[in-house]
């Protein structure tokens, strides 16, 4: 094991993972929230009910979500090329991650919103609030704690997705563990990466739980 | 009693049809209702579960849109307004809910401030108004706490404060007291009454409890299967209910009339002729009863009954055992019938079934029995000595 050689590579891999994960959390989180709200709002009986739009969104989420990510990467190839200009590299890979994260998070958001008492939405409506205001001042604040937990869950999922970045030459910690550890029969390197990932996940989960508990203190 | 007669809320053949769920048949939740609710009154809407009360009241602030007819609020026809144009109309109508529907993520103050934010009030004005409202509903000390720590009655006070925040002219209360215990119910009803009296706000109260109507409503509409089957002054509706549904509701609020079970027990103790005599402001009083019995040489013993207040006027009945010679009892009953309604239960040896106002349900009532006693008697101005609630059971000699 040559740590003088490996350490800079490990830092580089960690940077790549941070790049992929943070961008995905930002973009996928935002778009997923929007899509989840769209699903919730257009559901029959809800604020902006619209059978057709709901059916389309619902179908899209149902189709995309269960596809194994490694297959999804390939299937998304043409779109990735159209948007990013290439099907390989960290940008192309992050694009696919954002896409998948959007759909995964959308369902989580929708499920959390459904659990809100429709009575409070009705009360806001009775007070003359517009749908946009209701989203901002009722739906999101009322479901904040579960939304934070859902977002924490999304983080773990995204970190998981990023592990196969090596397939598209995106690098990252997963790629490092495979190239420098697995293929070199250097189990210590793999173990170090695993420990790093476990620590990160634990820290984020702890942070998420704490924030959710704070949001629930009412 | 409010003097104004203009309809601040007018239902004009208003109809709401819900498409059937799944392949089910459509539901006519509100069926061609024409009704005027007057400015400044407390108007009750009563009916059994599923009668369409909530839907009716939700047409007033257009939470539901009519599928036929129209609803006119303060001269504005809601049927023709777009969703965006309806928002200011809604903001001018307060609403309180059975389940309170407070935002768990906001403090008491935050909840009351919500409609003010929607209406675009500046922060300083908002804070002053919230303080004022907290004072009005008696929760000044709870400003900073979250709703989850409040009792049901306190939550409903917050709900009422929130509904009053933007100075609405109309307050809708959908089963506002149904989730509360009797004592808290009394407090909340008192508060609604204050809202009406002190602020001059028109209050529409939905309920399935006739007691609520009895204690605060000026007028009442009775709903059944989407239709208004009876509407009128609360006192009038109580004293002469015309529809069977109304009769049943009246019976639940006035527990002064013996049920068949009570009657059976009474007969074991009192073998004489048992009659139930109506007592109200116009038609009779215990003094009239006493005088009539004395004139006919009949002894009367009150065995059941009570007089309570409806719309702040006395109303109720007394069930009396009559003992006298020969035809004197029959003559006394006839004389009483001239001034008020009488349910003649006969004697234990010769019982008569009556389809009384007081009986919960009398599907087995003899159709050839005495005429419907529900109609109030005429003549004789009341000189009723009963003011508040006088409940009598057992044997009291007249
Ligand atoms: N959104 C809806 N879609 C379909 N049917 C509905 C809807 N809302 C109400 N209904 C139906 O309309 C009828 C009247 O309902 P409504 O809630 O107005 O009754 P209610 O008198 O308020 O009853 P409760 O005392 O139980 O509150 C019921 O048969 C109900 O199932
Ligand atoms: Mg209802």
Query: Is residue B287 domain-resident?
Result: yes
Same domain, B213 and B292: no
Last residue of a domain, one of B200, B221, B252: B252
Phi (first) and psi of residue A12, to 5 degrees: -65, -45
pLDDT range class, residue B357, cuts 50, 70, 90: very low
* Cross-chain residue pair A126–B63, CB shorter than 8 Å: yes
Give the model's pLDDT for residue B253.
Answer: 75
Last residue of a domain, one of B235, B252, B269: B252
Indicate which of B105, B111, B115, B142 best probes the interface with A, i.e. most A CBs within 10 Å of its own CB: B105
Measured CA to CA, the distance from residue B156 to residue B102 in angstroms comes to 9
Q: How far is A215 from chain B (nearest CA, A)?
A: 8
Is the CB of B128 inside 8 Å of chain A's CB atoms?
no
Give the model's pLDDT for residue B136.
Answer: 94
Rounded distance from Cα B46 to ligand 1 centre (Å): 14
Q: What is the CATH number of the domain that holds A203?
A: 1.10.3720.10
Kindly identify which residue of chain A lies nearest to residue B94, measuring between CA atoms.
A127
Same domain, B168 and B311: no
Q: What is the CATH number of the domain that holds B16?
A: 3.40.50.300
B58 Cα nearest atom in ligand 1: 18
Rounded distance from Cα A77 to ligand 1 centre (Å): 51
Nearest-CB residue to A127 (from B91, B104, B106):
B91
What are the DSSP calls for B96-124, one per residue? EETT----TTS-HHHHHHHHHHHTT--HH
Same domain, B243 and B100: yes
Ligand 1 neighbourhood includes B226 CB (under 6 angstroms) = no
Measured CA to CA, the distance from residue B212 to residue B219 in angstroms comes to 12
* Cross-chain residue pair A128–B87, CB shorter than 8 Å: yes
If DSSP codes are grouped into helix, strand and coil, which group holds residue B36?
A: strand
Same domain, B224 and B326: no
pLDDT range class, residue A1, cuts 50, 70, 90: low
Give the model's pLDDT for residue B285.
Answer: 65
Same domain, B207 and B326: no
* Cβ within 8 Å of residue A4, ≥6 positions away: none
Kindly identify which residue of chain B lies nearest to residue A134, measuring between CA atoms.
B118
Question: Please, are residues B398 and B320 in contact by the beta-carbon 8 Å criterion?
Answer: yes
Give the model's pLDDT for residue B284.
Answer: 56
Query: Is residue B25 domain-resident?
Result: yes
Same domain, B225 and B324: no
Q: Which domain holds residue B273?
A: 256-363
pLDDT range class, residue B248, cuts 50, 70, 90: confident
ipTM > 0.90?
A: no
Report residue A60 CA to chain centroid gap.
Answer: 16
Q: Please classify residue B24 by burial: count the beta carbons closer than 10 Å to its beta carbon, then call 0-12 exposed, 13-18 middle and 19+ buried.
A: exposed
What confidence tens digit (pLDDT) does each residue in A8-57 have?
Answer: 898 999 999 999 999 999 999 999 999 999 999 999 989 999 999 999 99
Percent of chain A residues topping a pLDDT of 70:
99
Query: Is residue B145 domain-resident?
Result: yes
**Nearest Cα residue to B225 out of B81, B30, B92, B11:** B30
Query: Does the pLDDT at position B381 exceed 70?
Result: no
Last residue of a domain, one of B237, B252, B267: B252
Query: Is residue B323 domain-resident?
Result: yes
Same domain, B267 and B333: yes
Average pLDDT of every residue of chain B: 84
Number of domains in chain A: 1
- Provide the Cα torsion A57, A63, A65, A66; round to 10°: 160
* Cross-chain residue pair B105–A122, CB shorter than 8 Å: no
With an 8 Å Cβ cutoff, the interface of chain A facing chain B consists of 117, 119-120, 122-130, 133, 137-138, 141-142, 144, 215, 218
Q: Which domain holds residue A51?
A: 3-216
Same domain, B161 and B26: yes
Same domain, B240 and B286: no
Query: Is residue B388 domain-resident?
Result: no
Q: What is the CATH number of the domain that holds B335?
A: 3.30.70.260
Same domain, B206 and B270: no
Same domain, B245 and B274: no
Q: At what angle do helices A90-114 and A77-84 cross, to 10 degrees?
A: 110
Query: Does the pLDDT at position A71 exceed 80?
Result: yes
Same domain, B24 and B146: yes
Measured CA to CA, the distance from residue B70 to residue B74 in angstroms comes to 13
**Nearest Cα residue to A70 out of A167, A154, A153:** A167
Number of domains in chain B: 2
**Nearest Cα residue to B105 out of A187, A117, A57, A172:** A117
Q: What is the mean pLDDT of residues A196-212?
A: 94
Query: Does the pLDDT at position B378 exceed 70?
Result: no
Ligand 1 neighbourhood includes B65 CB (under 6 angstroms) = no
- Pocket test of ligand 1: the residue of B26, B52, B95 to mutate, having most ligand atoms within 8 Å of its CB, is B52
Ligand 1 neighbourhood includes B98 CB (under 6 angstroms) = no
Q: In what order do the strands lie in the sheet with B273-280?
A: B342-346, B273-280, B313-323, B299-310, B390-397
SS3 for chain A is CCHHHHHHHHHHHHHHHHHHHHHHHHHHHHHHHHHHHHHHHHCCCCCCCCHHHHHHHHHHHHHHCCCCHHHHHHHCHHHHHHHHCCCCCHHHHHHHHHHHHHHHHHHHHHHHHHCCCHHHHHHHHHCCCCHHHHHHHHHHHHCHHHHHHHHHHHHHHHHHHHCCHHHHCCCCHHHHHHHHHHCCCCHHHHHHHHHHHHHHHHHHHHHHHHHHHHHHCC
Phi (first) and psi of residue B18, to 5 degrees: -95, 135
């Amino acid at each position: 094991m040559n740590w003088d050689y490996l350490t800079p590579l490990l830092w580089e891999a960690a940077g790549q993972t941070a790049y992929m994960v943070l961008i995905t959390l930002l973009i996928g989180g935002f778009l997923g929230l929007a899509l989840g709200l769209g699903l919730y709002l257009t559901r029959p009986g809800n604020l902006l009910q619209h059978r057709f739009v709901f059916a389309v969104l619902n179908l899209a989420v149902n189709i995309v979500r269960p596809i194994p990510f490694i297959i999804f990467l390939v299937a998304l190839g043409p779109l990735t090329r159209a948007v990013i200009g290439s099907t390989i590299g960290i940008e192309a890979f992050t694009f696919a991650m954002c896409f998948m994260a959007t759909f995964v998070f959308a369902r989580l958001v929708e499920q959390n919103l459904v659990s809100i008492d429709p009575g409070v939405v009705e009360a806001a409506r009775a007070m003359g609030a517009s749908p946009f205001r209701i989203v901002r001042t009722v739906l999101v604040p009322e479901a904040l704690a579960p939304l934070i937990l859902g977002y924490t869950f999304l983080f773990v999922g995204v970190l998981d997705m990023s592990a196969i970045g090596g397939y598209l030459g995106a690098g990252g910690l997963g790629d490092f563990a495979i190239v420098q550890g697995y293929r070199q029969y250097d189990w210590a390197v793999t173990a170090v990466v695993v420990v790093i990932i476990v620590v990160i996940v634990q820290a984020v989960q702890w942070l998420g739980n704490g924030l959710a508990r704070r949001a629930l203190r009412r | 009693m409010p003097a104004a007669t203009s309809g601040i809320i007018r239902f004009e053949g208003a109809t709401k049809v819900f498409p059937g769920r799944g392949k089910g048949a459509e539901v006519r939740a509100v069926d061609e209702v024409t009704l005027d609710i007057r400015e400044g009154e407390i108007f009750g809407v009563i009916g059994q579960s599923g009668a369409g009360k909530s839907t009716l009241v939700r047409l007033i602030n257009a939470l539901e849109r009519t599928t036929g007819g129209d609803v006119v609020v303060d001269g504005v026809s809601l049927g023709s307004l777009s969703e965006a144009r309806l928002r200011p109309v809604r903001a001018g109508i307060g609403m309180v809910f059975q389940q309170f529907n407070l935002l768990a993520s906001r403090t008491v103050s935050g909840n009351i401030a919500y409609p003010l934010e929607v209406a675009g009030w500046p922060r300083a004005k908002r804070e002053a108004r919230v303080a004022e409202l907290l004072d009005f509903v008696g929760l000044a000390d709870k400003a900073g706490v979250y709703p989850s720590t409040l009792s049901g009655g306190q939550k409903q006070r917050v709900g009422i404060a929130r509904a009053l925040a933007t100075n609405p002219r109309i307050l809708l209360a959908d089963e506002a007291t149904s989730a509360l215990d009797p004592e808290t119910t009394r407090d909340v009803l008192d508060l609604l009454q204050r809202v009406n009296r002190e602020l001059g706000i028109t209050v529409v109260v939905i309920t399935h409890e006739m007691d609520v109507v009895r204690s605060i409503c000026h007028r009442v509409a009775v709903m059944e299967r989407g239709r208004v089957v009876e509407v009128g002054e609360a006192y009038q509706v109580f004293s002469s209910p015309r529809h069977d549904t109304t009769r049943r509701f009246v019976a639940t609020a006035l527990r002064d009339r013996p049920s068949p079970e009570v009657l059976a027990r009474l007969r074991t103790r009192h073998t004489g002729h048992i009659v139930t005599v109506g007592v109200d402001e116009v038609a009779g009083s215990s003094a009239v009863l006493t005088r009539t019995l004395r004139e006919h040489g009949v002894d009367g013993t009150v065995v059941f009954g009570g007089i309570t207040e409806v719309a702040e006027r006395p109303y109720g009945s007394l069930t009396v055992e009559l003992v006298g010679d020969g035809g004197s009892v029959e003559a006394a009953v006839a004389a009483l019938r001239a001034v008020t309604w009488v349910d003649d239960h006969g004697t234990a040896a010769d019982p008569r079934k009556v389809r009384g106002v007081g009986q919960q349900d009398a599907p087995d009532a003899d159709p050839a029995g005495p005429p419907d006693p529900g109609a109030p008697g005429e003549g004789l101005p009341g000189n009723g000595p009963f003011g508040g609630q006088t409940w009598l059971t057992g044997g009291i000699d007249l």
